[in-house]
Structure 1
């Protein structure tokens, strides 16, 4: 009986120590995000932009879509946020051309919770929802990113019938319209490819990515690539994971509706988004 008690006490101590070590494990990863705009057709008062105008516009957009992000993480939590910079310039129409809104994304694996702090057109929102399910397909391919051996994983999100129907309707309106607007791209299956390393045993990654047996160091989807340039494990200055708190609390679905309603303010009678382009 005495031996059994000693074994139970020993096992309990080892469990507590192991748990404390897991909680103390923390780090910070730095990511560079780049979105490349290619071949987006545009019209100005019914006339397509020249190749030179198109190239100049794409260069400006691509430069604006180069960003640096930080991921602070421990064993079960992470917060992803953008490097602080001056406000992005706006067009004469007042619209901000950017690949994403200013945001801070918090992920908690134990409770399967996501919290995102977003600033959209000067209004702050706190989005609280479940973590997305990526349904990763693990593949055997490996490569080195810095000093870490990484493994490939792929997620495929099928284009929905609603997206295809919206595209066909928008295409008809765009062909008839004489206003200035972006040409909507045909919806396709969205393939996301990531590279993760089990050498950093946290199920975290940039943005909303998570759910793999190791930190995600690279992600590519659509025309965007996110690449980790630096990882610091257990830095001298303790990493603190602070949950987002600012903004009106809503769900992801409610936020999407707010964005849709706001963009509708920029649509003309044909239902397409009007823009003004400064050629200088």
Structure 2
């Protein structure tokens, strides 16, 4: 009986996801998220609380203060979405702490197409760098935990990501089936039965503070044009650059 019940639940989740995908073509909107680096601050504070040298902690405090002035936006229309920081133009003139804060919040602008299951990251360290990948399909633990964000009832879901030299870290989101589109921050799009209104990983915490659905002015998302690089090749380039830097530093 338990096995039968579990099978029914899984079927309903898949049907709901399929329904959400179909509804994506009919809903558009803009979600504005507040930004906090509280997760990384808490981790560093725990590490440094017994150490005399507080330089590392102070750096993260400064980063967190800089990040508190930032916000992110998710625009979606049909099967396309764009997620990224707001007002980061002219970042080259920003101070070191703001640049570190921006890179801690997000690597750049994430463009997603649910029909093609593709995503392009326009890296904010270079205007010319477009990183293309297939959408990831994390395995979510859908819980019964529930809370309100604005006027929307949200449910908690958890997945895990393996980071080099760290291991598994949890990714926690709160999504609302009341907005039946499978969009969210960063690469976490495509396979949840509702829009993500809150997101938290080991570095950053996003919470929706403004939700505008089906605005009178049409939302246009321009897919990036230009030469792209795969996520695998991008990682190889970064690994090679880091190794070269270490070798040169040791000379």
Decide: shared fold, TM above 0.5.
yes
Structure 1 equivalent of residue 53 of structure 2: 50
Aligned-partner SS, 2:143: strand
1:84 aligns with 2:90: no
Q: Does 1:256 align with 2:235?
A: yes
Higher share in helix: 2
1:107 counterpart = 2:86: no
Distance in 2, matches of 1:133 and 1:79, equals: 18
5+ residue gaps, structure 2, are 1-21
**Per-residue deviation, residues 165-224 of structure 1 (Å, max 9, x unmatched):** xx4xxxxxxxxxxxxxxxxxxx13111111000111101011111211110000111132
The one-character-per-residue Cα deviations of 1:49-78 (angstroms, maximum 9, x if unpaired) are: 623x44432221222334311111124221
Deviations 1:80-122 (A, max 9, x none): 121113423238xxxx5231565211111122111111133x4
Give the Cα separation in 2 of the matches to 1:189 and 1:254: 23
Superposed, 1:116-127 pairs within 5 Å as 116-120=121-125, 122=126, 124-127=128-131
- Cα distance in 2, alignment partners of residues 76 and 123 from structure 1: 25
Query: Within 1, Cα distance between the matches of 2:183 and 2:217?
Result: 21
The residue that corresponds to 2:27 in the other structure is 25
Calculate the TM-score normalised by the size of structure 2.
Answer: 0.75
The 1-side partners of 2:36 and 2:230 are apart by 27
Q: How does 1:186-205 map onto structure 2 within 5 Å?
A: 187-205=166-184
The 3 A distance-change label for structure 1 pair 237 and 143 is: same
Quick check: 1:117–1:245 contact (8 Å CA) kept in 2? no
Structure 2 partner of 1:69? 72
Larger gyration radius, structure 1 or structure 2? 1
CA 110–236 in structure 1, closer or farther in 2 if over 3 Å, else same: same
In 2, the alpha carbon distance for the partners of 1:22 and 1:254 equals: 31
CA spacing shift, 1:242–1:143, aligned 2, 3 Å: same
Q: CA RMSD in A?
A: 3.0
Trace 1:160-175 onto structure 2 (pairs within 5 A): 163=164, 167=165
Distance in 1 of aligned mates of 2:229 and 2:192: 28
SS of alignment partner, residue 133 of structure 1: coil
Q: Which residue of 2 aligns with 1:154?
A: 158
2:148 aligns with 144
Give 2:204's match in structure 1, choosing from 210, 213, 224: 224
Deviations 1:105-155 (A, max 9, x none): 1111122111111133x4621111100111111111110011100011111
